[in-house]
Amino acid sequence: MRHRSTVLAAALALACTGLQAQSTQAADQPDAAALRETANALFGPVPHRIEQVRGQQVTAAQVELGKSLWFEPRLSRSHVISCNTCHNVATGGADNVPTSIGHGWQKGPRNSPTVLNAVLNIAQFWDGRAEDLKEQAKGPVQASVEMNNTPERVEATLRSIPAYVEAFRKAFPGEREPVTFENMARALEAFETTLVTPDSRFDQFLAGKDSLDATELRGLSLFIDKGCASCHSGPNVGGQAYFPFGVVARPGADVLPAGDKGRFAVTQTASDEYVFRAAPLRNVELTAPYFHSGQVWDLHQAVAIMGSSQLGHELDAAEVEAIARFLKTLTGRQPQVTTPLLPPSTSTTPRPE
Amino acid sequence: MRHRSTVLAAALALACTGLQAQSTQAADQPDAAALRETANALFGPVPHRIEQVRGQQVTAAQVELGKSLWFEPRLSRSHVISCNTCHNVATGGADNVPTSIGHGWQKGPRNSPTVLNAVLNIAQFWDGRAEDLKEQAKGPVQASVEMNNTPERVEATLRSIPAYVEAFRKAFPGEREPVTFENMARALEAFETTLVTPDSRFDQFLAGKDSLDATELRGLSLFIDKGCASCHSGPNVGGQAYFPFGVVARPGADVLPAGDKGRFAVTQTASDEYVFRAAPLRNVELTAPYFHSGQVWDLHQAVAIMGSSQLGHELDAAEVEAIARFLKTLTGRQPQVTTPLLPPSTSTTPRPE
């Protein structure tokens, strides 16, 4: 559970502080200085670089190898699907369809989460079943509805290509057999640490600049005061803890399908039914459609649904608009990725199937 | 026909000149200077830049827009397939599977040709049915087994996204309605003019450097003397004219399926049965599997099949190896492409289907 209740309590306490700080201001004219202080306590900026994972330095050789693997369609059984297919760095780190299309045109069960800033999340997947990006990376490669591959076949593929053998040796020096499924995952994680989006207008605001207009400031204020920030907190404005979807009123089955009980599948605990990791909201304007079901295309509609289902507030149109405008200030500087040049297969490379 | 017979005659004449130039040398010790002169006459280097198409200057704004469209999955009905899916700039400009996988996981009828240096070809597609890259670009977007979209839907998609409207306006200034399917194709073509691969070791040799070793020189000599260069000529070492596959001996139905009569479908002329555009061989080491059927993975095997089916020569293992070694010197400097940042959809953007 990773101290879910502690995180929740802290977030709620901070949100209440926010409420108090705002209470002396007219609702439509938030005090920017007080709001900045509250926002810095609740969220914090996206870092410019992540240099370590699990206490270990990420090396340039690992990042470079990870970039090749990120775009490598031969990690899939078909040789057609790469990590970037569903987590496209050109489109907000996601695929912008309700649920991803995988091997054999099968549709996955949940909306593809963005890879951008994913390293900041408490855990990976909508239900947090992978504790970090290394573990996460092993999932889609093997999932039959995604890349439909096996660790053995991935290792055989990579070992058959001399340039990959050399790249793994450089990325994991001193290992007797560096070309492993585990190291594939480590390299992918290393590359993903570079996929952060700093310097959003919101982060400029946090740093003291007047980068938000009156509506955006009001949206931020509402986001805190109405309680959104109780769940969507931390530098990724979400991704920090788990909460039930439909805490006040359960949305329709189109948005919250009865067949997907979320984190219950991970913990087998009744209280985790329909519990999901709070969606990280950085770059949310780039990652429609929304929710784990991917059934809501409009950010305004998503905000309104959250208000009613999670907070019991029927937000009015002006409130929804202000919050949506604030959310669009969370779009940061997107990573500039030069596509790698992937080495050709050899006679021993397994063929696509 | 684009003067097919004239091109063929010229190529054969040049190949014969090559034969004469080589005839005074021992077969395994070609004279590099004479070979260079012959090779310059037969092939020529890949240019560093293509600045014009159809006599019109390609602009930076067109290239930039074209790059976005190249990686744009919303050109497909599913919002999952982009041009780059099947003509991947990370993997030699092709997809390295026998035939491409398209909408609904349908398999296309022919192997995906590389986009690299495609601008140098006499016409596009294996059967030359598109006279240039602009016309070619319209095909896969509409093909039901590929992107399965319509011009109307593409235009509606692009017009729904303000950043695209602005980019089309800059790329095609002065036009009343610049966001058209036709201009999509023009922009894609403009980007594709940048996907050339100059400075291969072969081109360095053509320019006077000693960049080929003895085996590679012998391979080049054999490539000319055995007659390969009769069809595979010009700067793209192919792509210049049409020839029957199986001119001497028809290969098996696995390699040359009876149901695909090639250029016959374009011209309805009996003599065009099983006629295809000679494959351009630049970067051929990156573009397996080979032939329009994509059924041959090994470059050596492809060379041997060409020898027997097209030239009536049973090339021995050393000859095949030397020719394959020469062909690998055709790998040029691959384009460095930074992935674009694609603008988000709006409420009026057609949804994926």
Q: Binding site annotation covers B83?
A: yes
Q: Is B80 on the interface with A (CB under 8 A)?
A: yes
Query: What is the rounded distance in angstroms from the CA atom of residue A254 to the CA atom of residue A247?
Result: 17
Residues B172 and B221 in one domain: no
Judged on CB neighbours under 10 Å (0-12, 13-18, 19+), A252 is: exposed
Q: Is B105 on the interface with A (CB under 8 A)?
A: yes
Report how many Cβ contacts below 8 Å link chain A to chain B: 87
Report the percentage of chain A scoring pLDDT > 90: 88
Residues of A in contact with B90 (CB under 8 A): 71, 339-342
Q: Is residue B228 part of a domain?
A: yes
Residues A119 and A203 in one domain: no
Q: Is residue B351 part of a domain?
A: no
The catalytic residue among A72, A146, A192, A319 is A146
Residues B290 and B311 in one domain: yes
Span A293-320, pLDDT tens digits: 999 999 999 999 999 999 999 999 999 9
Q: Which of A71, A89, A97 sits opposite B90 (nearest CB)?
A: A71
Average of pLDDT values for A75-89? 98
Q: Which of B71, B80, B85 sits opposite A97 (nearest CB)?
A: B80
The pLDDT value given to residue A28: 54
Residues of A in contact with B89 (CB under 8 A): 339
Residues of B in contact with A91 (CB under 8 A): 73, 342, 344
Residues A187 and A164 in one domain: yes
Query: What is the rounded distance in angstroms from the CA atom of residue B79 to the CA atom of residue B86?
Result: 14
Q: Is residue A16 part of a domain?
A: no
Q: Is residue B352 part of a domain?
A: no
* CA-wise closest residue to B284 among B101, B114, B121: B114
Measured between CA atoms, how close is A143 to chain B, in angstroms? 17
Measured between CA atoms, how close is A343 to chain B, in angstroms? 7
Residues of A in contact with B101 (CB under 8 A): 78, 80
Q: Is B87 on the interface with A (CB under 8 A)?
A: no
CATH of the domain at B250: 1.10.760.10
Residues A283 and A324 in one domain: yes
3 state DSSP class of B140: helix
Which one of B166, B193, B220 terminates a domain?
B193
Q: Is residue B314 part of a domain?
A: yes
pLDDT per position in chain B (353 positions), as tens?
Answer: 344 444 444 444 444 444 444 444 444 567 999 999 999 999 999 999 999 999 999 999 999 999 999 999 999 999 999 999 999 999 999 999 999 999 999 999 999 999 999 999 999 999 999 999 999 999 999 999 999 999 999 999 999 999 999 999 999 999 999 999 999 999 999 999 999 999 999 999 999 999 999 999 999 999 999 999 999 999 999 999 999 999 898 999 999 998 999 999 999 999 999 999 999 999 999 999 999 999 999 999 999 999 999 999 999 999 999 999 999 999 999 999 999 999 999 999 999 99
Query: What is the rounded distance in angstroms from the CA atom of residue B97 to the CA atom of residue A78?
Result: 8
Question: pTM higher than 0.90, yes or no?
Answer: yes
Q: Is A80 on the interface with B (CB under 8 A)?
A: yes
Query: What is the rounded distance in angstroms from the CA atom of residue A11 to the CA atom of residue A223?
Result: 13
Residues A64 and A141 in one domain: yes
Q: Is residue B349 part of a domain?
A: no
Q: Is B345 on the interface with A (CB under 8 A)?
A: yes
Q: Binding site annotation covers B3?
A: no
Measured between CA atoms, how close is B202 to chain A, in angstroms? 19
Q: Binding site annotation covers A16?
A: no
Residue A252 has pLDDT above 70, yes or no: yes
CB B95 within 8 A of CB B87: yes
The pLDDT value given to residue A7: 42
Q: Is residue B342 part of a domain?
A: no
- Say if the Cβ atoms of B80 and A101 lie within 8 Å: yes
Q: Binding site annotation covers A292?
A: no
Measured between CA atoms, how close is A100 to chain B, in angstroms? 9
Name residues whose C-beta falls within 8 Å of residue A233's C-beta, 6 or more positions apart in sequence: A7, A11, A14, A15, A42, A43, A240
Which one of A193, A224, A255 terminates a domain?
A193
Q: Is B298 on the interface with A (CB under 8 A)?
A: yes
Query: What is the rounded distance in angstroms from the CA atom of residue B61 to the CA atom of residue A130?
Result: 43
Residue A30: band (very low, low, confident or very high) from pLDDT cuts 50, 70, 90:
confident
- Say if the Cβ atoms of A342 and B105 lie within 8 Å: no
Measured between CA atoms, how close is A87 to chain B, in angstroms? 11
Q: Is B64 on the interface with A (CB under 8 A)?
A: no
- Looking at the structure of chain A, the number of domains it has is 2
Residues of B in contact with A352 (CB under 8 A): 96-98
Measured between CA atoms, how close is B6 to chain A, in angstroms? 36
- Say if the Cβ atoms of B347 and A297 lie within 8 Å: yes
CA-based nearest residue in chain A for residue B68: A90
Q: Binding site annotation covers B16?
A: no
CA-based nearest residue in chain B for residue A71: B90
Residues A36 and A75 in one domain: no
Give me B319's structure tokens: 């000859």
Query: What is the rounded distance in angstroms from the CA atom of residue B161 to the CA atom of residue B145?
Result: 26
Backbone phi, psi, residue A83, to 5°: -55, -40
Q: Is B155 a catalytic residue?
A: no
- Say if the Cβ atoms of A338 and B341 lie within 8 Å: no
Residue A247: band (very low, low, confident or very high) from pLDDT cuts 50, 70, 90:
confident
Residues A174 and A261 in one domain: no
Measured between CA atoms, how close is B34 to chain A, in angstroms? 32
* CA-wise closest residue to A274 among A324, A309, A313, A318: A309
The pLDDT value given to residue B7: 42
Name residues whose C-beta falls within 8 Å of residue A28's C-beta, 6 or more positions apart in sequence: A214, A218
Residues A146 and A207 in one domain: no
Residues in chain B: 353
The pLDDT value given to residue A22: 45
Residues A59 and A172 in one domain: yes
Q: Is A79 on the interface with B (CB under 8 A)?
A: yes
Which one of A193, A216, A243 terminates a domain?
A193
- Say if the Cβ atoms of B97 and A78 lie within 8 Å: yes
Span A92-130, pLDDT tens digits: 999 999 999 999 999 999 999 999 999 999 999 999 999
Residues B67 and B139 in one domain: yes
Task: Report the alpha-carbon angle A333-A66-A61, nearest 5.
Answer: 100
User: Which secondary-structure segment (H or E) carries A57?
Assistant: strand A56-57
Interface test with B, best of A64, A72, A77, A101 (most B CBs within 10 A): A101
Q: Is residue B20 part of a domain?
A: no
Residue A18 has pLDDT above 70, yes or no: no
List the beta bridge partners of residue B296: B290
CA-based nearest residue in chain B for residue A67: B90
Q: Is B288 on the interface with A (CB under 8 A)?
A: yes
Interface test with B, best of A111, A114, A338, A342 (most B CBs within 10 A): A342
Q: Is A345 on the interface with B (CB under 8 A)?
A: yes
**Other C-beta atoms within 10 Å of A322: how many?**
24
Q: Which of A88, A285, A338 sits opposite B337 (nearest CB)?
A: A338
Residues B263 and B161 in one domain: no
User: Which secondary-structure segment (H or E) carries B242?
Assistant: strand B242-244
Domain range holding B185?
Answer: 52-193
CA-based nearest residue in chain B for residue A347: B298
Mean pLDDT of chain A: 92
- Say if the Cβ atoms of A79 and B92 lie within 8 Å: no
